[in-house]
Amino acid sequence: MKRRLPTRILSITVGFGLLWFSAGSPAQPALETEGDGNVTDDGLHRVDPTIMEAAWVRPDFDLSSYTRVLLMPTAVQFRDVHLGSSDARNIGLADEFPIPEERQERMRELWREAVEAKFAQEDTLEHYAGDGTNLLVVQGFLVDVVSRIPPTSPSSTYTIIKFPWSVVVVLELRDAATAELLARTIDTRHAQGLLEADAAWHQTPDLVDRWAEVLTERLDQLSDLGGRPSATPSWWAPNE
């Protein structure tokens, strides 16, 4: 069954950003106008997949007028998983498992830190704080997070996992003045590898870092598509 990704209306709050030097208007992106999923409920049109995979933008998508980028707080959403019972037989038949609350909090922390670290890699950009005109709002989500790491079983201390995680990485761009959604990218990622259960948890920070890197890649692609010179650094965020 297909799961519908939640659409979030973001509030514009004080944050941090960068000066983004752009030049000229971009060429109109090639958009898909027919077929299921090519036009979203919020008016975005899918970019030709030969140009950019799994990206949707406004028909008049143009980032050339924006001079600042504001990084908004991130968010993580977990798939609601119910085993029904916790007996060994039921666990053995399941391929998705509930994530304990403490591990959910840890995942949120890892995601926030990873996204901020990707921004912080650009250290040549000027600080910006506050709202204003010509401001592009950027927000990254980790949604439909699924764990395939079974809970520890009293009868077994060694469990091999082939696909420990499945996630969807979402990037959204909005206009700060109007909160209008300008673009969205959606990437599904499946972690693969034969891992012992405890090792899977220990390697999760590295996986989260790779998922955060998807945001930088997609922002760069959207920036090129929407009119930002390719030589312009794309990310910045302050160290806490």
Residue 240 counted as domain residue: no
Residue 1 counted as domain residue: no
Dihedral angle computed from the Cα positions of residues 220, 22, 124 and 73, in that order, rounded to the nearest 10 degrees: -60
Residue 155 counted as domain residue: yes
Task: In whole angstroms, give the CA distance from residue 93 to residue 110.
Answer: 30
Number of domains in the chain: 1
Task: In whole angstroms, give the CA distance from residue 138 to residue 173.
Answer: 5
Task: In whole angstroms, give the CA distance from residue 165 to residue 71.
Answer: 26
Residue 89 counted as domain residue: yes
Residue 217 CB coordination number (10 Å): 15
Residue 192 counted as domain residue: yes
Q: What is the pLDDT of residue 237?
A: 36
Residue 237 counted as domain residue: no
What's the residue count for the chain? 240
Express each pLDDT in 36-70 by its tens digit.
568 889 899 999 988 888 899 999 999 888 877 88
Residue 3 counted as domain residue: no
Domain that holds residue 64: 16-226
Residue 233 counted as domain residue: no
Q: What is the pLDDT of residue 228?
A: 62
**189, 198, 191, 193: which is closest to 217 by C-alpha?**
189
Element spanning 168, H or E = strand 165-175
Residues of the chain with pLDDT under 70: 1-37, 83-94, 122-132, 152-158, 228-240
